[in-house]
Structure formats: structure tokens, C-alpha cells
Amino acid sequence: MILNLVYLLVGLALVLIGAEALVEGASSIARKWGVSEFVIGMTIVAFGTSAPEMVVSFISSLQGKADMAVGNIVGSNIFNTAFILGLTALICPVFVTDSNKKVDIPINLMVCVILIIFGLSIPFIGIDTTTLSRIEGAVFLLLFGAYLWYSFTHNTPDEEEENAKTLNIFAAILITAAGLAGLIFGGKLFVNNAEALAKQFGLSEKFIGITILALGTSLPELATSLVAAVKGKSQMALGNILGSNVFNVLLILGSAAVIRPLDMNGINAVDFSALLVCGIVVLVGALLSKKKQLRFGTGSALLLVGIAYMTYLFINL
């Protein structure tokens, strides 16, 4: 037990150090490439922090475990928005640009809606929508490509980003890669040993899956977003969360469905509702904010949604 506790703390330390390195390296890359920190957050950073979800969903798809593949993505997106963005907004105001309001946040909500439509038990162009088919997976991949193209061609860095201290490109890439490695390996070390400790205390596999494993796969997003926000890089934090959500559904779930069609019967109306409400709260918070920030009110609302959803899961274990 003592050894498990030591490894758990080492894993947590690696995650925090990795998040620090990733934010610094990714910021320098953004300035060198002449793109905004938001775009770097929703591409390089989001791709790296979504690695755990990608591995779990791809393996689950190959093994025919559709509930795990889809549930992992839906659960991670709810956790990303309700808890990570909610907590980040409570700690530090998250700056929202006009482009975020008009494009990025609505697209995040639109992706939720499309996933829900594909999961409804009604006919949709002759396809059983309780199954995410290869055609629907391909649609997700096409939408993902279009979103990436739009983001890179319509986002530019602000003056503050351009004038900030910048590492040389080789050092920035090296630090970013090292940060990603620290996040991934540290997160794995944390999850494995937290799971071992939980089993020693007699907790059930389902309880461990809903709590420790769900937290573990979202630990990179949590650490990166909080570190970015505290360092005054809230656009990277927002880009990381929105980008991870889009990556999870359009790229990861889309690819998994192309590999093997996914049965979505395991995801119920409460799961879909929690996902949808999170997206709506973020959009409403951004539109109503006079200071162009997601602040205490939005963060509190998101956390309440997350707590209500987790309570439902615990009651129905």
C-alpha cells in the first residue's frame, strides 16, 4: 500500500510538471507559427491531453466493447466541461473572444447535438441511429477536418501573445513533447495505483471505473487547463477543453465508428441531457458576459450540473 501511495504521488507530480512544460512549449510554438494560443490549445494540446481517451476508445472499438468506447467519450466530455471548465472559471476568469462566441463555443454545442441525433431511436436517412455507423463516423471525420481548416485560417494571435517571451522552435517542440509524455505517463501511473489502492479498500470495479478511471483519463486536461489559466493563458485553457471535446467526438469516436460500428444503446437520456446542458451553459455564459469572460456564475452552474450528474450515477450504481 505504501508503494502504491508513493507511485500515485510520483504520477501526480509528473502530471503537474508535464502540464507546466506543455503550456510553456505550446505557447512558444503558437507565437513562432503566428497562430493564437486558442488554436494551439484546441489542436496540439487537445490532441495530447485526449490521448488517454483515444487509446481507451480505439481498443474498446477493436474489442467490440461499444458501451465502453462511447461511454468513455460522453463521460469525458461531461467531465471536461462541467468540472474542468467549471473549476477553471471559478479560479480564474476565462477570456472569451468574439470568435469563441460566434464559432468555437457554438460548434462545441453543435457537435453535442449531432451526437445526440445519431443516438436517438428514430429513423435517420434509413440508418438505425442507435448505432453509430461507419457513414456517420466518416461524417464526423469530415467535420473535424473542416473545423481544423477553419480554425487555422481564421484565428490570429493578439498583441500580448506576439510580444511575449518565446523559446526557439526546437526547444519549444522538445518541451511540448516532454510535457505531453509527463502528462500521459504520469496520468497512467496515477490511475493504476489509485485503482490498486481502491481495490485494497474493497471498492467495486464499477465505482472505480466511474470515479478514478474517469478522473484519470481527464487528468491531463484538468492539469493543463488549470496551469494555463493560473499563468494567465486562459485562451489556451478554453481551447484545450473545447478542442478536447471536439477531438473526442469527431476524431476519436468518428475513427472508432469507422473501425467498427458502435452500439449507443448504453448511453441514456440522462447522459445525453448532461452533455447538452453543459454545452448550453457555456454558450449562454459566453453570450451574457459583458466582460467577455466565463466567471464565477458560469463556473458554478457547470459544477452544479457535474455534481448532479455524478449523484445520479452513484445512486444508480
- Domains of the chain, first to last: 2-315 (1.20.1420.30)
Contacts 24+ apart (CB under 8 A), 124-132: 129/264, 130/263, 130/264, 130/265, 131/261, 131/262, 131/263, 131/264, 132/70, 132/253, 132/257, 132/261, 132/262, 132/264
Q: Say how far apart CA 242 and CA 246 lie, in whole Å.
A: 6
Choose from 96-100, 190-194, 198-202, 220-224 the range with maximum mean pLDDT: 96-100
CB 162: neighbour CB atoms within 10 A?
12
Residue 207 confidence (pLDDT) above 60: no
What's the rounded mean pLDDT across residues 173-187? Answer: 79
Predicted confidence at residue 215, as pLDDT, reads: 67
Predicted confidence at residue 31, as pLDDT, reads: 67
pTM: 0.78
What's the rounded mean pLDDT across residues 42-59? Answer: 71
What's the rounded mean pLDDT across residues 21-42? Answer: 74
